[in-house]
Chain A
Amino acid sequence: MFKCVPCAVEGCRRYALEDMYTCLHHAQNSEEVLRSLIASITDKHRHRDIVMTDVRLKDVDFSKVYLTTSDFARCVFEHVDFSNSKVQACFFDFCLFENCTFDGSDARHSVVAGSKLIGCSFKDTLLIHTNFMGVDAIDCDFSSSDLYYSNFSSSHLVNTKYIDCNLKNADFRFTDRDNVSFKYSNYEEASFS
Chain B
Amino acid sequence: MKVFFHFSLNEYSNTYLIGPEDGGDAILIDPGHIDIELIERIEGNRFNIAHVLITHRHEAHTKGLGTLVKIYNPKIYAGSPKVFDMPVIKVKDCSIMDLSGITVEAIQIPGHTIDSFVYKIGNALFTGDVLYAGRIGKTAGVLEKALLLKGIKKRLLTLDERFLIFPGHGTISALKIEKLFNQELIDAMSSDDLAQLSHPSVLT
Is residue A150 within 8 Å, beta carbon to beta carbon, of the partner chain?
yes
Q: Cα distance A91–B164 when bound, in Å?
A: 10
Contact, CB under 8 Å: B2 / A1 = yes
For B5, B124, B171, B182, which residue has the most chain A Cβ atoms within 10 angstroms? Answer: B171
Residues of A within 8 A of B174 (CB): 91, 93, 111, 113
Residues of B within 8 A of A150 (CB): 171
Residues of A within 8 A of B84 (CB): none
Is residue A145 within 8 Å, beta carbon to beta carbon, of the partner chain?
no
Contact, CB under 8 Å: B1 / A1 = yes
Cross-interface CB contact of B177 among A113, A149, A169, A174, cutoff 8 Å: A113
Pairs across A and B, CB under 8 Å, 6 listed: A1-B123, A114-B176, A114-B181, A129-B5, A129-B171, A133-B173
On B, residues with C-beta under 8 Å from A are 1-3, 5, 7, 12, 122-124, 133-134, 162, 164, 170-174, 176-177, 180-183
Contact, CB under 8 Å: B177 / A4 = no
Contact, CB under 8 Å: A151 / B183 = no
Is residue A173 within 8 Å, beta carbon to beta carbon, of the partner chain?
yes
Is residue A89 within 8 Å, beta carbon to beta carbon, of the partner chain?
yes
Cross-interface CB contact of A111 among B2, B3, B123, B172, cutoff 8 Å: B172
Contact, CB under 8 Å: A169 / B12 = yes
Known: A131-B177, A133-B181. A151 touches B171 (CB 8 A): yes
Count of A interface residues, CB-CB < 8 Å: 27
Given contacts A4-B162, A114-B180, 8 further A-B contacts (CB under 8 A): A91-B174, A109-B5, A113-B133, A114-B177, A134-B181, A149-B12, A150-B171, A153-B183
Residues of A within 8 A of B183 (CB): 153-154, 173-174
Main SS at interface, chain B: mixed
Residues of A within 8 A of B173 (CB): 111, 113, 131, 133
Q: How far is the CB of B125 from chain A (nearest CB, A)?
A: 12
Known: A114-B180, A149-B12, A169-B12. A133 touches B133 (CB 8 A): yes
Residues of B within 8 A of A91 (CB): 164, 174
Q: Per-position contact with B for A168-186: 1 when CB-CB < 8 Å, else 0?
A: 0101011000000000000
Q: Cα distance A154–B134 when bound, in Å?
A: 8
Q: Per-position contact with B for A114-156: 1 when CB-CB < 8 Å, else 0?
A: 1000000000000011110110000000000000011101100
Instruction: Give B181's nearest chain A residue, CB to CB.
Output: A134
Known: A129-B7, A131-B171, A133-B173. A153 touches B181 (CB 8 A): yes
Known: A4-B122, A4-B162, A109-B5. A154 touches B181 (CB 8 A): yes
Q: How far is the CB of B26 from chain A (nearest CB, A)?
A: 14
Q: How far is the CB of B79 from chain A (nearest CB, A)?
A: 25
